[in-house]
Amino acid sequence: MAGTTSTSVQQLYADIVADLIPYYMDAVLLPNQQIIQNSLVVSGSSGSQVRFPLTNSYTNAADVAEGASIEAAAQSNLVPTAANVSFQKRGVATDVSEESLEDGGLELVRNAVITRLSGGLAQATDIAGLETANAATSNGDTGEGSANATTHSCNFIMSPEAMAYASKREPSVRMWYNPDKDVHEMRGSVRNGFANLRPEFIQRITANKTIGSATANVVAIAKGVANLRAQNAPTGVDGTYIGVISPAFEFAINDQIALAGGTTVGSLSDLGNNALRDASLALIAGTRLFRSNNVPNA
C-alpha cells in the first residue's frame, strides 16, 4: 500500500483534478447536446449570465387580390426577444482523514472522492434543470394529473430546443490540509444554469412514484408526443423527442408493454419480449427515454 507522503497526496489530488470532469459527464444527464441543443461553455468570459436570442413565430402568407395591400393581408414582423441563463454555484465537500488514507489506501480514497464529488455535482445540476423544466411547461398534463408531492412525481417529454444550458465553471476541486484535524479537505464546485426557451415544447406527465402503483403509461407518452407535434416542436437529429422518467414510471411502461399481444409469455410482441428481457425501452412512441432519480415531485 502506498504511504501517505506529501508526494502521494499531491498525486491523489492531481488524479482527482484530471478525472473529475470525465466522471461528472458520465453521471450528469441534461448538459449534453442530444438533450439540450442550446448549450454553451463560457469559462473565462465576464458576466454572471448569458443571453439566448429568440424570435417570435411567423405568420403564414395570405391570398392577396390584385392591387391590394400585402401588409394588410399578412403582417409578419420580426420581434426579437431573449432568454437569460443566470449562473448558480453548486458545491459539495469531502473530508478525508489521514487515517482513511493509511487504512484504506490511496486508490480506494481516489475512487470514493471522485464518485462523491462528481456524483454530487451532477445530481445537483440535473435537479436544477428538471425543476426549471417543471416550472415552464405550458401544455396540459397527460399523466395522472396529481399535484400531490408526497405520492407523485413529474416526468417530461421535450424537444431538444425547449431549454438552454450554460456553464461558467466546469467541475473543479480544491484541496488543503487541516493540521488541527489531521484531515485533507476537498471542495468541489460548478457554476451553471438553465433557462426555458419554448415552454410549449415541454410536456409534463405526472405519475405515482411508488413502484407498482403508477397508472400513467405509454398512452400518456404518445399523447404528449402528439401535443409537441401539434406545437411544431423540433425533434433531435434522429427524429425523436427526449423523455426523462422516474424508475416507477419506467416500471409502469414495461409492465404495460410486457402484456402487449396477450397474457402469456408465448404470445408477447417483440416489444413485450424486449421489456421482459432487458427491462428497458430506449425508444417508444417517438421518444428516446432516459431514466432519472432526479425528477421533481408533483
Q: Would 298 be classed as within a structural domain?
A: no
- Report the C-alpha gap between 209 and 215 in whole angstroms: 10
SS3 80: coil
Average pLDDT of span 220-240 = 93
Over residues 141-164, the pLDDT tens digits come to: 998 988 888 999 999 999 999 999
Partnered with residue 11 across adjacent β-strands are none
277: pLDDT confidence band, cut at 50, 70 and 90? very low
Find where cell 445530481 sits. 123
266: pLDDT confidence band, cut at 50, 70 and 90? very low
Q: Would 108 be classed as within a structural domain?
A: yes
What is the gyration radius of the CA atoms in the chain, in angstroms?
A: 24
Q: Would 258 be classed as within a structural domain?
A: yes
What is the pLDDT, as a whole number, of residue 32? Answer: 85
Whether pLDDT at 278 is above 60: no
Average pLDDT of every residue of the chain = 86
CA distances for 275 relative to 214, 248, 272, 283, angstroms: 17, 14, 5, 12
- Report the C-alpha gap between 112 and 253 in whole angstroms: 34
CA distances for 209 relative to 11, 219, 296, angstroms: 43, 18, 10
- Report the C-alpha gap between 248 and 213 in whole angstroms: 8
Domain that holds residue 12: 6-54+81-291
Fill in the DSSP letter of residue 211: T
Q: How many domains does the chain have?
A: 1
Whether pLDDT at 127 is above 90: yes
Q: Would 60 be classed as within a structural domain?
A: no
Q: Would 130 be classed as within a structural domain?
A: yes
In 163-289, alpha helices (H)? 218-230, 247-258, 270-278
267: pLDDT confidence band, cut at 50, 70 and 90? very low
Q: Would 163 be classed as within a structural domain?
A: yes
Average pLDDT of span 227-244 = 92
Q: Would 161 be classed as within a structural domain?
A: yes
CATH number at residue 108: 3.30.2400.10
Partnered with residue 196 across adjacent β-strands are 163
Q: Would 257 be classed as within a structural domain?
A: yes
Most confident listed range (32-36, 65-69, 84-88, 253-257)? 84-88
